[in-house]
Structure 1
Amino acid sequence: MTELLANDLTRYALLALLFVAVVGVTYGIASLLGERREVRERLASGVQGSEAAAAPSGLRTHDARSAWLSLVGAIERTGIPLVDTKDATLRSRLVAAGFKEEYAPRVYSLIRLILVVGLPLTLFVLLFLGGGAPSTSRLIVMGMIMALIGLYVPSLIVRIRADRRQQQLINGFPDALDLMLVCVEAGLGLEAAFNRVGMEMTRSHPLLAEQFGSVVLELRAGRSQEDALRRLADRAGADEIRAFATLLIQSAKLGSSVAQTLRTYAAEMRERRRMRAEEKAHRLPVLLSIPLVCCMLPVMIGVLMLPAVIRTIRVLIPALAGGS
């Protein structure tokens, strides 16, 4: 029995190592091909390195065509559609998570399809290679569980990534408001203020700098200020940035001072950040009570009660033995 178990563990370990090796080699080849394709496209389009260096760092992102795009195109040419019926909602979720490419919804649908089909098949292969013979009902239940995992795990990952990006944007937004207030009070316009703040925050808060850079590019391309600010709020997905865009739009419509609006909202944002820090500090005792009750309280009870139990046993056992 021990030898059989050892053989099964060895087989599973070898299969896992083989899977990791195949995935690593595939990813490396795909990355290499993607980099070479990007270089060839830049050379073919005549893009000079000096032009790329002249662009503001962190404000213009150069999206490379991924190897996923070729795979998605090949699959769709076979007649399998990968476009979700809720494409607009899905695209907004992916943009909030940082996936801004046009083909991101199709790649997302492809990954979900691969996981829904691949995880149950992988489970069945491992079960049969292990020499086990599970019942049909057990196979069906396990296959359904693995398919549900493959269906919902990508959505969960996208949601976690979007929440993390949103938190990073919120954390750096008060500093951006202070810098923008300085720029506006120094006489810069709104577009120049966005541009300057974006370049200054490229290293400290690159996500926020990217959002500001997109606003600058849209304004230079001819979009109205209101439309560019609303698109900024939609891309960020944070209530604070949405309120900031609304305030700037209303200030422009009503003719009020942008500097005064920024000063008031910057103070409010700093107050909100302080309140969030206090809220996290107040949650610490509640969170610490769980490990204290589960780990330290039993030990303390044992330390306090053990001498009494030992003394009771020493007194009662001889008394009971003498009485009997």
Structure 2
Amino acid sequence: MRARLAAALGALLVTGCDSAPKASEPSLPPPRIISGPVSVAAACTGPSPSARPAEPSVAAAPGDPRQLVASWLENPTGTVVAVSHDGGGTWSRSPLPGLLTCAGGPYARTSDPWVSIGQDGVTYVASLGTRPAASNATAHDIVVSVSRDHGVGWEAPVVVETASAPPTQPDKEAILADPRHPATAYLVWVDYRVTAGVDPSVNQVMFTRTSDAGRTWSTPAAIYSGNDEAQQNQLLMTAGGVLLDVFVEGPALPSAPHPPPLPVKIRLIRSTDQGKTWSAPVDAARFTFTNAVDPG
């Protein structure tokens, strides 16, 4: 479902861009490939169902765009980080330490990396870690890794939430370092209500924050729960310091090849006190979506 919602959001954004007046664009250099070989423990080099890089995220240090940190998923290596100190001219790559079991960590796999850099230079990478499956459930952790030297070294990941599916499946976290307050960052994700053998379609948006540069995090709390699936949460902060969580909300599509179009909303909630309280949701856009079917 999250992939379908992401595709729907992408279609809306493309449509909106196509209908807008064309503005002159600055000349940009060609894209640079930053993925590639990574030195990993021998136990982490086995076969993988997908060895292609996926789920990339990149951030620049506020006030110093030469300092860049990117992160992505690259099986079987897991979460990879790449660091540039010259504005993207050169990059160094390494696996994010302390995560996979093959490298001494607790997780069979990781996914959904998201990176953000604070005004104090602290770099945060949030990940979803999946522990080896047990007989009756699979445990998942929302974890945050922190670097205090522009990505040169990384501290042991801090577990923000632990949940087992069933009954709870966390997914798709996003992190934001506060651009106005040092040592402060915010993290959102969704928790699905899982029943064995049933594809989950309802979730709640969870939130936590740190005020000591990632050493500790507040107790996770639900900040939104509707009757449908809220996904692809992204945290933003306005110039005036208002914290926003923007997400897509809609029902799960049935598995039939030609389901009727279903309504989807782009929604946002606001916090004026650094995430302590949140507004009711505001609808930014509404549209319909359905499965794409190859007519051939």
Common fold by TM > 0.5: no
Larger relative contact order (Cα-Cα within 8 Å, sequence gap ≥ 6): 1
* TM-score, structure 1 as length reference: 0.19
Return the index of the structure with the highest Cα Rg: 1
* TM-score, structure 2 as length reference: 0.20
**More helix per residue:** 1
**More strand per residue:** 2
